[in-house]
Amino acid sequence: MKIFLVDFEYSAPEGFMPRPICMVAREYFSGETVRYWLWDCPPKDCPIPTGPDVLYVAYLASAELGCHLALGWQMPVHVLDLYAEYRWMISGRRPFAGYSLLGALQSFGLGGMPAVEKSSMRELAIRGGPYSCEEQQLLLKYCESDVIALTQLLHCMLPHLNLALAVIRGRYMSAVAKVERTGVPIDYALLNAIQARWRELMLGLVEKMDRDYGVYEGTTFKTERWAKWCSAAGICWPKLPSGELDLKRETFRKMGVLHPQVLPMYELRTTLAELRINKLAVGPDQRNRYLVGAFGTKTGRNAPSSTKSIFGLSRWIRHLIKPREGMALAYIDWCQQELGIAALLSGDRVMQEVYNSHDPYLAFASLAGAVPKTATKGSHPRERGIYKVASLAVLMGMGTEALGEATGTSGAMGARLLSQHKEKFSKFWEWSDGQVDRATMGETLQSNYGWQLHPEMDGPTTFRNFGLQANGAEMLRIAAMAITERGISLCALVHDALLIEAPLDEIDAVVADVKACMASASRAVLGGFELDTEAYVIRWPNRFCDERGAKMWETVMELLGANDSPAPV
DNA sequence: TCTATATCACCC
DNA sequence: AAACGGGTGATATAGA
């Protein structure tokens, strides 16, 4: 068995696929090191072995594996990603010096300075070629210094790792590399039209709606001016405990009921907040690409940049997602994923039945005696809405007051909802309380495939929710591996959902295949319990539509004067 | 003028 | 008794 420690330098402008610059690989036991310049004419095949007898070690391996994909090289069978493992190791603890390779090394007391200045190397990589001989030598030297650091880090971390679980996480990084390369197809012309007139659009809105207030300076809201306007209008504006004005969207909405003259300001603030679209990272091939940020959270979820990823921005912006000619997309999610996980992990049979019922929220309402057994979504929309919010909020540990607020009722009703939940799902609460107790006693919480949380900085609500979210993240990882390993184009990962792409005449079969992968992933995490999935298919020439963002989309299209109204779902 | 903090927006 | 989980990012204000 051989262990190769690998690092690439590469150039990857926003939205572009990476272009490898150079690579250094070092064999752990022999110390033998190979250096390859890759910018001009890279070797056709990977110069180091990648078979089942090799462990491929990298730091944030999605980058290295993305270079393999770019070069058409074989992907390694076994990957160990020390970034993922470092996040795993210290999950729930404060990082000693951040999550970079050097930060990880410092946490082991090995703070070796890099041989070459890091920021200048990054600039050199981003700049792209051609590179002079000196620059080549500099980049290779820098690359090698990272490989040496990586070697030291492996030495430090090896005794702490669970290799069987670590290589599963490494395998996920291969899936991530593919997702980061595939990206999301975008209606580029329309995006450009919006971006080109973005500033003008914002200023136009402010100009029109701020006229009567005089609160804005350019596109920025001035709190002092708002205070002045309020006192002139004889309005006593609510304050935060800190003494600052409470400028929450919700506060504006509520104050609008009492003082309708503030409503246009509510509209303006809402619209401006949602109008952020200028950083969306779209490459010349009209696809949205960004780093997935695998294992970026303490529950093991991905943490992509919310401005670079189209799924991190407001929902109306998803209307820009559009399959290329002859292609189709499908957005597939697990139905009520965390509810299902809660039902299974806790072993609560009642909750499992509710989950498996046609409409879990109504089923809870019915159990609580709030609606008749015969109730439907149409007959009792209000009650269903309340019990839906309650079902989900309870999983995050919401208290009575907040629950009353969230359901638009009262603290008393919040208390009632909570006690109904505790009564009907007593087994769940036993389990949930158990998680809190164990963590409070200092026990590290574990998900079913070994993600963990050290209970050092967090409180009871986090402990309650950890198992649900961490197992959900695991489910997504297992599905993503299965899907990409079947050669299916996986465009995006969205926590409990994913976006895939296929030719029009294959999409139905591919969706069936993906749903099977997702069902299988749920069984893998939940010991045979299967979660249902729902698919939304978008066929060219239609675009992605989200009803929760439809109104804003129409507003923007109107402002733009484009006659491209959203196609029917 | 720059940076740190708080608050708020969005996403699941 | 506690009491809305996990994120990223923009913006406004206060402090150096």
* pLDDT exceeds cutoff 80 at A111: no
Intra-chain end-to-end CA distance of chain A, in Å: 53
* pLDDT exceeds cutoff 80 at A129: no
State the pTM of this model: 0.92
pLDDT at A562: 52
Q: CA at A539, C1' at C2: how many angstroms apart?
A: 50
Average pLDDT of the residues in A100-117 = 82
| Domain of residue A56, CATH code | 3.30.420.10
pLDDT at A565: 47
Average pLDDT of the residues in A537-554 = 92
> What is the pLDDT confidence band of residue A112, given thresholds at 50, 70 and 90?
low
Q: CB A351: neighbour CB atoms within 10 A?
A: 26
In a domain, A99, yes or no: yes
Q: CA at A307, C1' at C16: how many angstroms apart?
A: 30
Smallest CA–C1' separation from A466, nucleotide: C5
- List the structure tokens of A176: 């991530």
DSSP A353-403: HHHHSS-HHHHHHHHTTSS-TT--TTT-HHHHHHHHHHHHHHHTT--HHHH
Determine the protein residue whose CA lies at the shortest distance from the C1' of C7.
A303
In a domain, A536, yes or no: no
- Beta strands per DSSP E along A152-270: 184-185, 216-217, 220-221
Q: What dihedral angle (degrees, nearest 10) is formed by the CA atoms of A138, A15, A85, A517?
A: -140
In a domain, A17, yes or no: yes
**For A562, left (φ over 0), alpha (ψ -120 to 50), or beta?**
beta
Q: Could you tell me how far CA A230 lies from the centroid of its own chain?
A: 39
Q: CA at A461, C1' at C2: how many angstroms apart?
A: 9
Mean pLDDT over each residue of chain A, to the nearest integer = 92
Determine the protein residue whose CA lies at the shortest distance from the C1' of C11.
A220
Q: CA at A410, C1' at C16: how many angstroms apart?
A: 45
Looking at per-residue pLDDT, the higher value among A370 and A207 belongs to A370
In a domain, A218, yes or no: no
* pLDDT exceeds cutoff 90 at A75: yes
DSSP-based three-state secondary structure for A534: strand
Q: What is the 3-state secondary structure (H, E, C) of A443-464?
A: CCEECCCCCEECCCCCCHHHHH
Q: CB A94: neighbour CB atoms within 10 A?
A: 7
φ/ψ of residue A395, rounded to 5: -65, -20
pLDDT at A511: 98
> What is the pLDDT confidence band of residue A159, given thresholds at 50, 70 and 90?
very high
Burial of A511 (0-12, 13-18, 19+ CB in 10 A): buried
Looking at per-residue pLDDT, the higher value among A216 and A9 belongs to A9
pLDDT at A114: 64
Q: CA at A119, C1' at B2: how many angstroms apart?
A: 20
What single-letter DSSP state applies at residue A96?
A: S
Tally of domains within chain A = 1
Looking at per-residue pLDDT, the higher value among A270 and A7 belongs to A7
Chain C footprint bases within 7 A of protein beta carbons = 2-13
pLDDT tens digits, A329-353: 999 999 999 999 999 999 999 999 9
φ/ψ of residue A61, rounded to 5: -60, -20
Name the β-bridge partners of A333. A497, A534
Residue type, A19: R
Q: Which residues touch strand C (CB under 7 A)?
A: A 219-224, 276, 279, 293, 296-299, 301, 303-308, 312, 393, 396-402, 405-406, 436, 458-462, 464-465, 469, 495
Owner of token pair 């012309």: A189
In a domain, A546, yes or no: no
pLDDT at A291: 95
Q: Which H or E element spans position A557? A: helix A550-560
Average pLDDT of the residues in A188-203 = 84
- Answer whether A225's CB lies under 8 Å from A215's CB: yes
Quick check: bond before A18 cis, omega within 30?
Answer: no
pLDDT tens digits, A281-308: 899 999 999 999 999 999 999 999 998 9
Looking at per-residue pLDDT, the higher value among A98 and A172 belongs to A172
> What is the pLDDT confidence band of residue A64, given thresholds at 50, 70 and 90?
very high
Average pLDDT of the residues in A396-424 = 92
C-alpha distance from residue A203 to each of A191, A192, A193, A270, A272 (Å)? 18, 18, 16, 14, 10
User: Residue A20 sits in which domain range?
Assistant: 2-181
In a domain, A70, yes or no: yes
In a domain, A73, yes or no: yes
Q: CB A294: neighbour CB atoms within 10 A?
A: 30
Average pLDDT of the residues in A413-418 = 94
Owner of token pair 């779209």: A282
pLDDT tens digits, A482-529: 999 999 999 999 999 999 999 999 999 999 999 999 999 999 999 999
Q: What is the 3-state secondary structure (H, E, C) of A423-440?
A: HHCHHHHHHHHHHHHHHH
In a domain, A90, yes or no: yes
C-alpha distance from residue A329 to each of A59, A231, A537, A543 (Å)? 32, 52, 6, 9
Percent above pLDDT 70 for chain A: 98
Looking at per-residue pLDDT, the higher value among A120 and A427 belongs to A427
* pLDDT exceeds cutoff 50 at A567: no
Smallest CA–C1' separation from A415, nucleotide: C3
Q: Which H or E element spans position A6? A: strand A2-11
pLDDT at A113: 63
* pLDDT exceeds cutoff 90 at A442: yes
